[in-house]
Amino acid sequence: MTDRLNGIHALITGAASGIGAACARRMAGDGAQLLLADVNGDGAKRLADELGQASIQADVTRAADIRRMLDAAYDRWGRLDVLFNNAGIAEIRPLLELSEDDWDRMLGVNLRSVFFVLQAAARRMREQTPIAGSELRGKLIQTASIAAYRGGLANMPHYAASKAGVVSVTRTAAQVLAPYRITSNCICPGAVDTPMWKKIDAEWSKLEGWQAGEAWKRRTSLIPLGRPETAEDVAGLVNFLASRDSDYMTGQALNVDGGLVMGN
């Protein structure tokens, strides 16, 4: 526990599980005030109660929920310093079998929502005074993936495309919002041990006719640093991006993957 994030007010989407939850724990431990948002409202509330923070049930694919989420932050704090734009879904769909509905559902959550949550936050942030102790008005942090760069996940073409889109949106936002002193960066985790990867493993292993756990085993065996990634490994980077130590960084896509993107 440090006071690194004292005075920082942050909204985390997809906060009920996995990476979002680990980042919430880490950021709360370092003094941030948090609003935990998730389509799973009960899960977000449970974690918020445990951490002494606030929560809201919100489906980021719905414009009304995005508005409600931002209103909740501004009603509570009068400002928002950090957006951790993290909610996402994954599913296995071989390229030759993927349907239009599969594509729309995936891109709807992982790219369309990420864009409109970012836009809603940036519209409010540009009107506010700088963050205490910083020259910046706000910080936007998106969760992309190393899937944005190269295959390895050949059976998730729509997921990979959505994450490449997140990198693109992150960079455009960095350029457009720099004059307002709002930064925009994204993180690219590798193979992280979360409920999302349990689902990927179940679907991928079934597709290949492997035993459950085999897809995860094969994928993580390729990690140069020699062990699977934990959500806490990701939380360290997000914490840094939320802190004043990263104020001079914008437009970056940062890999936190144990070297997997070079190793596979």
Whose structure tokens read 């508005």? 67
88 binds ligand NAD (CB under 6 A): yes
48, 34 contact by CB (below 8 A): yes
17 binds ligand NAD (CB under 6 A): yes
Q: Determine whether 159 is an active site residue.
A: yes
Long-range contacts of 166-171 (CB under 8 A, 24+ apart): 166/110, 166/111, 166/114, 166/142, 167/253, 169/111, 169/114, 169/115, 169/118, 169/142, 170/140, 170/142, 170/144, 170/251, 170/253, 171/251, 171/253
Interface residue with ligand NAD, options 12, 18, 125, 138 (CB under 6 A): 18
Instruction: Compute the least distance from the CB of residue 96 to ligand NAD, in Å.
Output: 23
Contact region with ligand NAD (CB under 6 A), list: 13-21, 92-100, 122-130, 132-140: 13-21
Counting residues that bind ligand NAD (by CB under 6 A) gives 29
Structure-block tokens of residue 101 = 């509905």
Structure-block tokens of residue 91 = 């599913």
57 binds ligand NAD (CB under 6 A): no
- Count of Cβ atoms closer than 10 Å to residue 192 Cβ: 22
Instruction: Compute the least distance from the CB of residue 18 to ligand NAD, in Å.
Output: 2
User: Residue 56 or residue 136: which is nearer to ligand NAD going by CB?
Assistant: 56
Interface residue with ligand NAD, options 10, 11, 109, 173 (CB under 6 A): 109
111 binds ligand NAD (CB under 6 A): no
User: Residue 104 or residue 127: which is nearer to ligand NAD going by CB?
Assistant: 104
83 binds ligand NAD (CB under 6 A): no
258 binds ligand NAD (CB under 6 A): no
Contacts with ligand NAD, 136-165, as mask; x by CB under 6 A: -------x-x--------------------
User: Residue 148 or residue 177: which is nearer to ligand NAD going by CB?
Assistant: 148
- Which H/E stretch holds residue 231? helix 231-242
CA angle 46, 52, 54 (to 5 degrees): 70
Q: Which parts of 78-194 fold into alpha helices (H)? A: 100-107, 113-125, 157-177
Instruction: Compute the least distance from the CB of residue 232 to ligand NAD, in Å.
Output: 12
- Which H/E stretch holds residue 24? helix 18-29
By CB under 6 A, the residues from 187 to 206 that bind ligand NAD are 189, 191-192, 194-197
By CB under 6 A, the residues from 227 to 256 that bind ligand NAD are none
User: Residue 39 or residue 169: which is nearer to ligand NAD going by CB?
Assistant: 39
Q: What is the binding site for ligand NAD (CB under 6 A)?
A: 13-14, 16-20, 38-40, 58-61, 86-90, 109, 143, 145, 189, 191-192, 194-197
